[in-house]
Structure 1
Amino acid sequence: MLGGNSRSRTYSRHLLSATAGTCASLVVLGLTAAPAASAEIPDFRPDQWALASIGAQDVWDSTQGQGITVALPGVSVDEEHPDLRDNVEIVTEFGDNGADDEQGTAAAGLVAGHGHGMDADGGVLGVAPEANVLVLPTEDDLAGAVRHATDEDAQVILLPEEIGDDGDLAEATAAAASGGALVVGPAGGNEDPNVLAVAGVDEDGALIPESPDAAEIDLVAPGADLRTAGQDLRQADVTGAPYAAAVVAGSAALLSAEYPQLGPDQVREALVEGSREGPGGLPSLHVGDAVAQASGTAEDISLIDEDLVQEQDSGVPVWVWFALVGVVIVLVVLLLVLWVRRSSADPYGVKAEREAEDAELAAARAEQARAEERPSRRKKGGRRRKTR
């Protein structure tokens, strides 16, 4: 498995049935008591310390990552997990979505887990519960998967491992950054200016074991004992820099959904500059502060592309387009009216039939009239008697 380790645990919360005294009272009253609910709804949110640590839930009233796609290239994910179902899209162009889905399922849960059960009151939540996750499994074409995520307009791309000595991947991350995606990955390996390098901290705020040097870290985030979606439709506790990077990717989705006018560099700046002091003075992720930082930046950026508006203004005036459209609509309406009139003038041929009948009747009457005139002409033309 790429990066980190995991320990699976399962806890359950039992819903209590009615008390014995209440049941006895119902029997005395002669009423039939409905069976008490015995369903077990696991709820792991009290153990999700990362959400409280970064203040994610404080901004959920305004943003939960809606409309944002976070791409996960290089991993497999259990799309049937109840905490992920309907949030995940899997593209197998670069590899099969295999059974080795521990890391990918955990990362997807940290990014966009939405819980399950009645009113989604069970399971785990991710940092951005309404974000979409685009999964691109692959074993040997991570660069191709990153390029595909860029082509699909993913706003955030989460790498499964630190950058190695792969020039093709570096080119892919550069294309992603210029194409409008924020690339997030675990710290360590070769430096890539296009990747936001993240290291993990534990609940006490200390760097987790085997973290890289501070010079290789851009941001720290919760990365130890994180409760998230696990294999076999269960939950798991995971530790490692890839999972800290997943927390940051979910946070980036929150900012991108709230301020869509911000580019990847501005979202990255908001995450880093809007942070709190972490171990050794490293910037530590805090979503509430990052949103405030992004808000200040977004005030100076219009949601409308002013350059595009100027290009339109420099061409044909808008009123001309409206006039042309109006003329076309009028012509279409006139043609439609003419067609309707022609098609409805005598749709069943009644008029033509009547005209034919009238012509036949007129011919018959004319023939009858001629027949009546013939005897009278003979009578008039008879011989006269001579007078003697």
Structure 2
Amino acid sequence: MLGGKSRSRTHTRHLVGAAAGTCASLIVLGLTAAAPAVAADIPDFRPDQWALTSIGAQEVWDSTQGQGVTVAMPGVSADEEHPDLRDNVVIDSEFGDNGSDDEQGTAAAGLVAAHGHGLDADGGVLGVAPTASVQVLPTQDDVAGAVRHAATEGAQVILLPEEVGDDEELFEATAAAASGGALVVGPAGGDEDPNVLRVAGVDEDGALIPGSPEATGIDLIAPGADLRTAGQDMRQADVTGAPYAAAVTAGAAALLASEYPQLTPAQVREALVEGAQQGPGGLPSLHVGDAFAQASGTAEDVPLIDNELVQESDTGIPVWVWFALVGVVFVIVVLLLVLWVRRSTADPYGVQAEREAEEEELAAARAEQAKAEERPSRRKKGGRRRKSR
């Protein structure tokens, strides 16, 4: 499904030479000098990532790096164990198993959310939103179902693997995702879908890459040529194509969604397009800093809490519920009063009980004395007997 249409090329660079250089440094310099040499020899490809500088992604990283946002990628496989992607990528096998044909998915995931690796993450590559999460949904023939599933699972951004074709089910799925709270991003070309932000790629000189559609089929342009990103076999790769320009844009959308969670997908899309700089032929060119300024103005009028929903919940409680609550409170108050009275009239130190015991003993003594007084004397009745002689 993903072959041919992306017009992408990949150039893989091996790290064997760098590793060998590191080992040689360890042998020659000894263990004491080894630590600085190892840190210096970790390959750092970020200076070659011209896309990050071009769109100004690093300008907003002090505010957000995409935390709390999920970017779903239906229709591709990806290497979740790549050192630049580990822990940022989750494979959802609901619609298919993760396969070995993961070149496009791994590269796109790296452009979205690669976090680098090595000592203090000073090696490898970075994505536009390094702390965002990527949900990969491999599937061969049910991209529409994967899109619906991703929206249901709460993905804020959905990245399509290729341009939208004549697929009614996919049209319905993107419409449902857009209405459900997800911004759908995809490569420009194919049939028009108003629910998809169509992105074309440009090279480092700002020119559209070969094979790009007419301007009427493009909503936004972004870096899409010779992009250094995560590659197969734990390596890095340079990729070119509209799907990768769309991945860069998906990362920018993740930054916006993280910083301004109260905005709707339509408002995030508007911020990306209206906050863009002028590109070739007057096309809007992605710039994160300007998009943030646009989103900030929109977010001022959109509270984080929907007051209308709060009012609806306040007025939607039936009257009998209020009466029941009042009755329960009244019963609780009465019980508390009874307990307070009983405790206040109680004899916690046993004084009353002691008095009652003394009174009982005194009454018993008096009763015993009364019985003794009533007992007749035998001497008075019979007199003294005389002895016979």
Partners in 1 of 2:384 and 2:161 — Cα distance?
135
TM-score (norm 2): 0.78
Moved more, 37-46 or 132-141: 37-46
Partner of residue 5, structure 1: 9
Aligned match for 1:34, one of 32, 35, 43: 32
For 1:282 and 1:316, the matched residues in 2 are separated by 52
Task: Provide the residue aligned with 1:254 in structure 2.
Answer: 255
Instruction: Please report how far the alpha carbon of residue 386 of structure 1 lies from its aligned counterpart in structure 2 after TM superposition.
Output: 6.6
Q: What is aligned with 2:53?
A: 52
SS of residue paired to 2:199: strand
The runs of 5 or more residues in structure 1 that have no matched partner are 24-32, 339-379
Deviation at 1:157, TM superposition (A): 0.2
Query: Which residue pairs with 1:363 in the alignment?
Result: none
1:267-286: CA deviation from partner (whole Å, max 9, x where unpaired): 11111111111111111111
In the alignment, the residues of structure 1 paired with residue 92 and residue 164 of structure 2 have an alpha-carbon distance, to the nearest angstrom, of 23
Q: When the two structures are superposed, what TM-score results if normalisation uses the length of structure 1?
A: 0.79
| Cα distance in 1, alignment partners of residues 100 and 233 from structure 2 | 10
The equivalent of 1:289 in structure 2 is 290
- The CA deviation string for residues 192-248 of structure 1, in whole angstroms up to 9 with x for no partner, is 010000110000111111111111111110000100011111111001000000000
**In the aligned structure 2, how far is the partner of 1:296 from the partner of 1:386?**
132
Alignment of 1:131 with 2:132, yes or no, is yes
CA distance, structure 2, for counterparts of residue 10 and residue 48 of structure 1: 17
Determine whether 1:201 maps to 2:202: yes
Question: 4+ residue stretches of structure 1 with deviation over 2 A?
Answer: 10-18, 37-40, 312-317, 384-388
2:150 maps to: 149
Matches within 5 A, 1:77-156: 77-156=78-157
Deviation at 1:112, TM superposition (A): 0.4
C-alpha distance in structure 1 between counterparts of 2:25 and 2:296, whole Å: 48
Aligned partner of residue 106 in structure 1, secondary structure: helix
Secondary structure of 1:80's aligned partner:
coil
Between the aligned partners of 2:160 and 2:256, the Cα distance in structure 1 is 19
Residue identity in the other structure for 2:80: E
In structure 2, distance between residues paired with 1:142 and 1:72 = 10
Name the stretch that deviates more: 269-278 or 34-43. 34-43
* Cα drift, residue 385 of structure 1: 11
Residues 115 and 124 in structure 1, CA contact (< 8 A), matched pair in contact too: yes
In structure 2, the residue matched to 1:224 is: 225
Q: How far has the Cα of 1:34 moved from its partner?
A: 2.4
Choose 235-244 or 272-281, whichever is displaced more: 272-281
SS in 2 for 1:210: coil
Residue 187 of structure 1 and its aligned partner are, at CA, apart by 0.6
CA distance in 2, matches of 1:143, 1:232: 29
Separation in 2 of the partners of 1:324 and 1:251?
49
Residue in 2 that maps onto 1:75: 76
AA paired with 2:75?
Answer: G
Task: Work out the CA distance in 1 between the residues paired with 2:313 and 2:246.
Answer: 42
Question: Are the aligned partners of 1:75 and 1:160 in contact in 2 as well (CA < 8 Å)?
Answer: yes
- Listed one character per residue, the Cα deviations across residues 127-152 of structure 1 (whole Å, up to 9, x for unaligned) are 00111111110001000000000101
Aligned partners of 2:71, 2:317: CA distance in 1, in Å?
Answer: 39
Please give the residue correspondences for 1:170-249 in structure 2 after superposition, counting only pairs within 5 Å: 170-249=171-250
Q: Percent identity?
A: 76
Q: Which amino acid aligns with 1:249?
A: A
1:161 Cα offset (Å):
0.6
1:354 is matched with none
**Is contact 1:10–1:236 with CA below 8 Å preserved after alignment?**
no
The answer to whether the 8 A contact 1:95-1:138 is kept is: yes
Question: In structure 1, what is the Cα distance between the partners aligned to 2:293 and 2:384?
Answer: 134
Secondary structure of the corresponding residue to residue 64 of structure 1: coil
- Tell me, in whole angstroms, the C-alpha distance in 2 between the residues paired with 1:180 and 1:315: 25
Following superposition, the deviation at residue 36 of structure 1 comes to 1.5
Partner of 1:252: helix, strand, or coil? helix
Deviations 1:12-65 (A, max 9, x none): 4967969x9x99xxxxxxxxx725225341211011000000000011111111
Matches within 5 A, 1:230-379: 230-315=231-316
The whole-number CA distance in structure 1 between the counterparts of 2:220 and 2:51 is: 15
Tell me the amino acid that sits aligned with residue 297 of structure 2. Answer: G
**Gapped runs of 5+ residues in structure 2?**
340-378
Partner Cα separation in structure 2 for residue 49 and residue 191 of structure 1: 30
Question: Which residue identity is paired with 2:12?
Answer: S
Return the alpha-carbon distance in structure 2 between the equivalents of residues 50 and 10 of structure 1.
Answer: 22
Counterpart-to-counterpart distance in 2, 1:386 and 1:182: 131
Q: What's the secondary structure of 1:311's corresponding residue?
A: helix
CA offsets per residue over residues 282-319 of structure 1, 9 Å max, x none? 111111111111111111111110111221343459xx
RMSD (CA atoms): 3.9
Name the aligned partner's letter for residue 36 of structure 1: A
